[in-house]
Structure 1
Amino acid sequence: MTERVKLKDLEEAFDGLPYPITKENAVEEVEGVVLVYADGEEAASDVIARIEEEVFDDPASLAASIRNNLPVDAVGEPGQSEGEGD
């Protein structure tokens, strides 16, 4: 079964993992978790696999590393707001 997690809920979603956890173990542990983006979604394991850090000490460090490795469109388009345009 797939678990869908919004970006604002990352720390809570990964709170139950056995910390400290290696990147390799984190990829395995989050199998089936899908991150829900502003425009689309992606497997959490794919994002974690892109992270350079090899060990995460707690849910906050894992969540921060995930956020730092998200695609640009994951949280919406930067510099865009209502009412702008030509």
Structure 2
Amino acid sequence: MTRTIRLNQVDGVLSELAFPVKPSTVATECDDVTIRLADGEVNLGATVNGSTATEFASPEELTEELMSLLPRRAVGEPYQSDGDA
């Protein structure tokens, strides 16, 4: 069964994995997880499978890599900053 989650719920899914973990294992374990983004959706397993890393030592390391693999428009609107008010 496919699960659809928001980006801020990714940590809960990743914390279920046994670390250290390889990208291919994440791809298999998370192939049923779709992440809803600000501008579209991505499959968690397929996204992590695109990583060049050989292994992730912790959920934090995997989360950092995942964020770098997401499309630029994944969060909020591009070129907008709430800090410049």
Q: TM-score range by the shorter chain?
A: 0.7 to 0.9
Shift of 1:29: 0.7
Q: What amino acid does structure 2 have at the position aligned with 1:27?
A: A
Q: Deviations over 1:59-84 (max 9, x none)?
A: 11111110011011111332136xxx
How do 1:1-86 and structure 2 match up within 5 A? Answer: 1-80=1-80
In structure 2, runs of 5+ residues without a counterpart are none
In structure 1, runs of 5+ residues without a counterpart are 82-86
Larger Rg: 1
TM-score (norm 2): 0.84
The structure whose residues are more often strand, as a share, is 1
Structure-1 separation of matches of 2:74 and 2:41: 8
Answer whether contact 2:3 2:33 (CA < 8 A) is retained: yes
Runs of 4+ deviating beyond 6 Å: none
Answer whether contact 2:33 2:43 (CA < 8 A) is retained: yes
Q: What amino acid does structure 1 have at the position aligned with 2:58?
A: D
